Structure 1
């Protein structure tokens, strides 16, 4: 479900310390019935186990494939246009306590570079010629005794073209990509016991 930007900006997330020059583009919630305060690692593990690219809808796979093909043709993703090239990784901004938290994994088969991970937050980033984008995943009390996953996408567009690009793809994100992701990630939570049956407890 799509949420107002304040649903992210009003939370006391550590991400705010390092993204003051980014715009909060999208905020989305994912239902996790029965979740408790310590289940964020469980949700992330279930997403990794059940949220790969091959499990997305055909329409979402087509859109992503078309984007990568277009990026190849127009040079949007060529070497030097991403992190540590045109854009500097957010890891360069991290205080030491955040810098030492990543484990090198991202949920759902997402093409993101990890930035940091805490008990209730995980952050990954991606950069190319269009924009520097950040995905923030947070674990939030719902007010009814439960918890849910929230995703915020923060963006620093690359000039006028980057702003035009973000506006152009907004309908596809809101009408196709995020609803499909919602169904996939919420299904991963429902199926977590099956998906994680043979592995260690993600909570440690």
Structure 2
């Protein structure tokens, strides 16, 4: 376990400091900001309602359920149980941290951003892939970029985001399965 933790810290420093550049310093804080993605969320809502009518409301409802389940499991159940300190609050990393965003006082494992965005991405991929194949790479890239930004800005270790991605993927598949069982007939 100590070897895994050491690898995680070394990988964190390689990403957080080693990839440091002006463009990423500008872009990564934006990618993890919930307001940055507001136009995308609005587009999804309008698209679902306009294209799918009544079923669109169920889709939006399931996206909200997907988000709520991810948030509940990651931030309310796992984080307090594990209690891992964020890298930006870890005294042993004080000399390595570049403060790009406020650190926050919550725990680090797993990344709730990664969990929620992978859950939503997987749900949307499962839903729309049969009709629109580009959603697969776009959805994965979207969720990955947000997870990567969490490490780059210094608020999560790589394993936090990897586990969050795995957890979110499972949640996305689960809520899509639920959606297929409750969706209205078209």
If the TM-score is normalised by the length of the shorter chain, which range does it land in?
0.3 to 0.5
**TM-score, normalised with respect to structure 2:** 0.34
Higher helix share: 2
Structure of higher CA gyration radius? 2
**TM-score, normalised with respect to structure 1:** 0.32
